[in-house]
Amino acid sequence: MYCVLKIYLDIGNLRGDEVVDMKILDTDTEDKINYINATTKKIIIKNHKTEKSQGTRIIDIEDKKLMGILRKGLGKYLITDTNGELFKTSSKFGEYFKSMIGYNPYDLRKSLTSKCIRECLTNGDTEQLERLSSTQGHSLATMLNNYNTYNQENIKLDTCLID
- Looking at 102, 117, 138, which one is the last position of a domain? 102
Same domain, 54 and 98: yes
Same domain, 96 and 116: no
The SS3 assignment for 37 reads strand
Which structural domain range is residue 132 located in? 106-160
Q: What are phi and psi of 75, to 5 degrees?
A: 85, -5
pLDDT at 70 exceeding the cut of 90: yes
Same domain, 91 and 20: yes
Confidence of residue 150 (pLDDT cuts 50, 70, 90): low
Note the pLDDT tens digit of each residue in 40-58.
Answer: 999 999 999 888 888 999 9
Same domain, 97 and 112: no
Same domain, 60 and 8: yes
Q: Which of 24-38, 74-88, 89-103, 129-143 is the least confident region?
A: 129-143
Confidence of residue 67 (pLDDT cuts 50, 70, 90): very high
**Residue 140: exposure state from Cβ atoms within 10 A (0-12, 13-18, ≥19):** middle
Same domain, 94 and 142: no
- Looking at 79, 102, 125, which one is the last position of a domain? 102
Confidence of residue 98 (pLDDT cuts 50, 70, 90): very high
Same domain, 54 and 120: no
Same domain, 78 and 57: yes
Same domain, 79 and 118: no
All residues at 6 or more sequence positions from 24 whose CB lies less than 8 Å from its CB, including other chains: 35, 36, 38, 70, 71, 73, 74, 75, 76, 77, 78
Same domain, 63 and 132: no
70 versus 155: the higher-pLDDT residue is: 70
Same domain, 97 and 41: yes
The domain total for the chain is 2
Confidence of residue 151 (pLDDT cuts 50, 70, 90): low
Q: How far apart are CA 4 and CA 10, in angstroms?
A: 10
